[in-house]
Amino acid sequence: MNDTPDESQKLSGDAPSIPGRLGDALSGSGEGVQTEHHLADLHFFENLDRINRVIQSPSDLDQMMRDILDVLLSVFACDRAWLVFPCDPDAPMWQVPMERTRPEYPGVLPIGVELPLDPVGAAVYRTLRESPGPVQFGPGGVHPVPVEMATVFQVQSFIAMAIYPKVGKPWSYGLHQCSYARIWTPQEVRLFQEIGRRLSDALSSLLSYRDVQESERRLRRYNLRLSVLHDIDRRILVASSQQEIASAVLQHLLHLIPCEWLSIVLYNADMTEEWIIAWEHAPQLDVALGDPQPVVPNQGLEQLQAGVSIIAADLAAQEGPRARLADALVEAGMHGAMANPMIVEERLIGVLALSAKQIGFFTEEHREIAEEIAAQVAIAFRQAELSEQIDRYNRDLERRVKERTAELERANHEMALFSYSVSHDLRAPLRAVQGFAEIIARRHRDSLNDEGRRYFDYIVSASAQMDQLISDLLDYVRLGRHRIDWERIALPEVLSRVADSLTTLIAQTEAHIHLAQAMPEIDADRMLLMRIFTNLLENALVYHRPGVAPRVEVTSALTPDSVIVRVQDNGIGIPVEFREKIFDIFQRLHSPDQFPGTGIGLAVVRRSVELLNGTVWVESVEDGGSAFCIRFPRRAA
C-alpha cells in the first residue's frame, strides 16, 4: 500500500496517471509515446490479472470482496475502497457488506448492518444508476462531493459505479481519496470500469453459488424442522400436563430457533392476568416462573387477539405501554422479539414468546415455524386443560400445605430459640436478685419495719415465682429437642412413681388418689409419660375447691386402635370456652394469688402427648371437676 502522495500529485493538473511515473521519463518523440502506451496497456492488463486471480481463488463471497478491495487500495493508491448493497435510490435500507481502508482513514460505518437510506445517499445511487460507467465526484468531475460525505467520511474526491450482478439487486463500489483532492485520469477510469465488469461477473457467480448453498441449507433446515415437529408431536402425545407439553416444546424449538429466550405465556379467561408456564435459556429476570402478572392492554395485544404474530426488530424501541415481562427482557439486554398467538375457539389462551440479544434477529422463516408450533401447543393445551386444572389444584394444595408446614415448623423453632434464650437471659439477673435478697434476709431483716418486711417478702415471693416460670419454660423448650426412647411400659408402674413423688403435696391437701390396677402396657417414652402424669396429678391437687379434699381417679379403657387414660378430679372445673386455650403456653384461668402456677404445665402435657403420637382433651363441667383424657396409639396385635 502506498503512503500519502507527495505534493507533486495533489493538484488537479499535476496528478499523474497510473503509468505516468514511467512516461514522464520518456521523451516526447513518437517512439516515447509508443512506449508509454505500451507500458500503460501492460500496467492495465497486469492489474486486471491481479483482480482475476483474486476472483478465481476463493469460493467465499466475503473473502473475495475483502481481497478485491485490498487490491484496489494497492493499485489506485487510494484511502478507502468499498462495496455497497443495494444501489437502489428507492430502497429504505442499505449496508456496507465490505470496506477496506488505510490506517489513517478508518471506516466509520458498521460492516453488514442495515442502515436507513437518507436523501444524500439516494441522490448518489440515482446518479450511479443513470450513468453507463464510473462517476467522478470532486475536482475534475461533473458532480461535487456531497457536503455530508465530505464531513462524515473526510472525502475530498471519489469515484464510484453501479454494478449489475445477474442475481438480486444492483450493487455499487467505489474509491475514496481523503488525503488530497484527486483527479481521476482516463486510464484510471478505464481500469476502474473494467474491474467493475469483472466484479459484476464474479458477484453473479458467487451469489448464484451462495443461493445454491442457501437452498441446500434451507432443505436441511426443512428436514430438521420436520424431524423436530415430529418429535414435538410424540412428546405432546405422552405428556400428561400443560407444563410437560410446554417444556418439551421449548426444548425442541431451540434446535430450530436458537435464540437466548424462549417461553410460553398463558392468560386467564378474562384476560386480566398472565403467567409464564415454561421457559428455556432464562436470563436473570425480575419475573418468576408461574408468577401471575397483570395484562397490559396495548396494540400488540390487540394483534395477538386477532391471531396475528408480532416481530419486533428492537423491543427497547417499541412505543406505548409494555408488559412487565417485556420490561424485564429489555433490562436483561434483549432486543429482537417475536410473539405468536395461541388461539383456541377464537380466544387467545397464550403466547409463544421468544427474544434475542441481536437486533432484528427473527425472520419470516422463524415466524412460520413458531406459528405452526404455537397452533400445535394450543390444541394440545385444550386437550389437556381439564387434567391440567386438576393437577394445578393438587399442586397448589401441596404447595400451601408445604408452606404452612414450613411456617409452623419455623414458628415452633423460633419460639423454642426465643424461649430458651429468654429463660437463660432472665435467670442471670434473677440469681442476683435472689442472692441479694438472701443477704438482706440474713443481715438486715430484723432492722426493717413491718412495711419494709412486707415489701421484702413480695420480692422473695416474686423471685421464687419467676424462678419456677423459667424452669417450666426450659422444660417446655427441651421437649422440642427430646429424642424419643420408645419402650414397652406398664402404666401402673409409671403412675405409682408419680404418686410417690407427690407424697408431700398429697399430705398437705389431704387428697385421695385412686390408681386403677388393671391398666395395659403402652409403647411410649418413660420420661415423657412421667411429665404428662406429674403435671396432670399435680394440677388436680392444686386446683381444688376450698374446704374440699381433692379426689383423683386414674382409669383406662381400650379401643381397637388406642388406649385411653382418664384422669378425673373433683376440683374447680374448667368452663367450656377455655377447654382448648388451657393447653396453650402461658394460658391461666386464675391469678397467682388464687392458685399458684406458671401456665406452662398443660402446654407441656399436650406437647409430650403429641410427641408420642397421641391426643389430649379435657371434659369438664363447671363446679363439677375435670376429666383429662389421653389417647395413646395401641400396638397392633
Query: pLDDT at residue 441 above 80?
Result: no
Q: Are residues 63 and 191 in the same domain?
A: yes
Highest mean pLDDT pick, 320-324, 427-431, 507-511? 507-511
235, 305, 307, 558 from 343: Cα distances, Å: 20, 8, 7, 64
On whether the CB atoms of residues 592 and 465 are closer than 8 A, the answer is: yes
Q: Are residues 172 and 59 in the same domain?
A: yes
Q: What is the CATH number of the domain that holds 287?
A: 3.30.450.40
Read off the pLDDT band of 562 (50, 70, 90): very high
Read off the pLDDT band of 423 (50, 70, 90): low
Q: Give me the pLDDT at residue 34, please.
A: 64
On whether the CB atoms of residues 354 and 371 are closer than 8 A, the answer is: no
Query: pLDDT at residue 119 above 90?
Result: yes
Query: pLDDT at residue 5 above 50?
Result: no
Considering its fold, how many domains does the chain have in total? 4
Average pLDDT value for residue range 467-478: 63
Q: What is the CATH number of the domain that holds 620?
A: 3.30.565.10
- Reported as a single tens digit per residue, the pLDDT across 178-211 is 999 999 999 999 999 999 998 888 888 888 887 8
Q: Are residues 257 and 338 in the same domain?
A: yes
The residue assigned the cell 402424669 is: 533
Secondary structure (H, E, C), 187-235: HHHHHHHHHHHHHHHHHHHHHHHHHHHHHHHHHHHHHHHHHHHHHHHHH
Domain endpoint, select from 478, 510, 541: 478
- Reported as a single tens digit per residue, the pLDDT across 382-402 is 777 766 567 678 888 888 888
Q: Where are the beta strands (DSSP E) in 4-149?
A: 80-85, 93-101, 115-116, 135-137
Q: Give me the pLDDT at residue 24, please.
A: 44
Read off the pLDDT band of 56 (50, 70, 90): confident
Q: Are residues 413 and 501 in the same domain?
A: no
pTM for this entry: 0.41
Domain endpoint, select from 338, 365, 390: 390
Q: Give me the pLDDT at residue 138, please.
A: 92
On whether the CB atoms of residues 491 and 532 are closer than 8 A, the answer is: no
Q: Are residues 244 and 379 in the same domain?
A: yes
Among residues of the chain, what percentage have pLDDT more than 90?
30
Highest mean pLDDT pick, 18-27, 145-154, 459-468? 145-154
